[in-house]
């Protein structure tokens, strides 16, 4: 009886040791519990200001739910991807929240004179030095110091040009007629036709050229450099709502080689496309 009791005790101890090993996992590094630096949601933010010493401040303002506009240093449409990336920073995960008194010693973290700031309405996110041990960057938000991935700082170093939309034609504008050099495309009785007539050309191919204009995305955009316009393209768009009128847009062809450069005088911007789109957007050649 005593021997059986002793065996039971040994088994209980062994089970306890094994359980401790499984739970504690000595020698295995525990994952760091991360926390968001802010509970602010994208929907709550209506204005973003990006500041750093090497360029004018960039100001973005929400026009409606999913439409942001560049308002400073110039007005313009925005690249949704760039705006989304900037909003994402306020949801950054931090591996370490520094003690509350860290906010009284900002110089130690490079936050007394920050490298840059992003203002989300009244909330200011300041970027300081990088921790040499873990390569995380110190940031200050609402008097609390955190460490976050340093890649977020890329948003601060961007200029307003980076935030300009690369889409030549605004989303929602539907072309119904295009006048190109030597060609005119138009919707007639529900299908696309071209003048001068090209009987061998399918209506779908004509529509494809119109679609290429409607969805054209530039490689990059920059202010108009005032180079001479070689030719003009005019587009007519269907009314966007009942009772409205057709709208038009003139686009200048600044260059065809070594890249296709199109100019929108209403925006004062030029859009740069790969050279391969020259024939595709201005003719029926592939």
Both 261 and 185 in one domain: the answer is yes
Both 131 and 188 in one domain: the answer is no
Distance (Å, whole) CA 236 – CA 153: 42
Q: Is residue 98 a part of any domain in this protein?
A: yes
Both 142 and 191 in one domain: the answer is no
Single out the residue in 97, 132, 163 at which a domain terminates: 163
| Mean pLDDT, 10 residues at a time, the chain of 286 residues | 55 53 41 77 94 90 92 95 93 85 83 94 95 92 92 90 96 94 92 88 88 96 96 93 87 95 98 90 84
Q: Is residue 11 a part of any domain in this protein?
A: no
Both 151 and 253 in one domain: the answer is no
Distance (Å, whole) CA 93 – CA 37: 6
Q: Is residue 50 a part of any domain in this protein?
A: yes
Per-residue pLDDT, 4 = 60
Both 138 and 220 in one domain: the answer is no
Question: Which structural domain range is residue 141 located in?
Answer: 35-163
Q: Is residue 1 a part of any domain in this protein?
A: no
Distance (Å, whole) CA 185 – CA 187: 7
Both 206 and 93 in one domain: the answer is no
Both 124 and 197 in one domain: the answer is no
Per-residue pLDDT, 15 = 57
| Matching residue, tokens 């847009």 | 249
Q: Is residue 13 a part of any domain in this protein?
A: no
For residue 186, what is the domain's CATH number? 2.60.40
| Matching residue, tokens 């007394």 | 112
Number of domains in the chain: 2
Q: Is residue 72 a part of any domain in this protein?
A: yes
Single out the residue in 163, 184, 217 at which a domain terminates: 163
Answer whether the bond into residue 170 is a cis peptide, omega within 30°: no
Q: Is residue 203 a part of any domain in this protein?
A: yes
Both 158 and 180 in one domain: the answer is no
Whether the Cβ atoms of residue 191 and residue 203 lie closer than 8 Å to each other: yes
Single out the residue in 141, 163, 185 at which a domain terminates: 163
Q: Is residue 12 a part of any domain in this protein?
A: no
Both 152 and 56 in one domain: the answer is yes
Whether the Cβ atoms of residue 253 and residue 233 lie closer than 8 Å to each other: yes
Angle at 105 between CA 101 and CA 111, to 5 degrees: 115
- Whole-prediction pTM value? 0.81
Both 60 and 143 in one domain: the answer is yes
SS3 category, 224: coil
Per-residue pLDDT, 29 = 37
Both 69 and 154 in one domain: the answer is yes
Both 139 and 188 in one domain: the answer is no
Whether the Cβ atoms of residue 48 and residue 59 lie closer than 8 Å to each other: yes
Q: Which residues contact 248 (CB under 8 A, 6 or more apart)?
A: 234, 235, 236, 237
């Amino acid at each position: 009886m005593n021997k059986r009791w002793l065996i039971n005790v040994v088994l209980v101890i062994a089970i306890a040791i094994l359980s401790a090993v499984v739970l504690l996992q000595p020698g295995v590094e525990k994952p760091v519990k991360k926390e968001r630096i802010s509970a602010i949601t994208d929907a709550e933010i209506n204005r973003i200001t990006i500041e750093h010493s090497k360029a004018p401040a960039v100001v973005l303002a929400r026009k409606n739910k999913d439409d942001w506009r560049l308002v400073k240093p110039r007005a313009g449409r925005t690249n949704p991807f760039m705006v989304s990336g900037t909003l994402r920073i306020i949801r950054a995960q931090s591996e370490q929240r520094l003690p509350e008194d860290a906010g009284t010693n900002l110089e130690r973290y490079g936050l007394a004179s920050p490298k840059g700031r992003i203002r989300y309405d009244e909330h200011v996110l300041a970027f300081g030095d990088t921790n040499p041990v873990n390569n995380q960057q110190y940031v200050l938000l609402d008097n609390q110091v955190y460490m976050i991935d340093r890649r977020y700082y890329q948003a601060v170093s961007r200029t307003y040009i980076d935030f300009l939309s690369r889409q030549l034609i605004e989303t929602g504008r539907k072309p119904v007629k295009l006048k190109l050099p030597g060609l005119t495309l138009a919707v007639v009785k529900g299908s696309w036709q071209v003048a001068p007539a090209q009987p061998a050309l399918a209506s779908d191919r004509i529509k494809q050229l119109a679609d290429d204009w409607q969805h054209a995305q530039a490689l990059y955009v920059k202010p108009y450099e005032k180079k001479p316009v070689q030719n003009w393209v005019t587009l007519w768009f269907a009314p966007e709502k009942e009772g409205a009128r057709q709208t038009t847009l003139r686009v200048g062809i600044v260059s065809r080689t070594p890249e296709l450069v199109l100019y929108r005088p209403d925006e004062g911007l030029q859009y740069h496309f790969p050279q391969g789109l020259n024939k595709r957007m201005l003719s029926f050649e592939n």
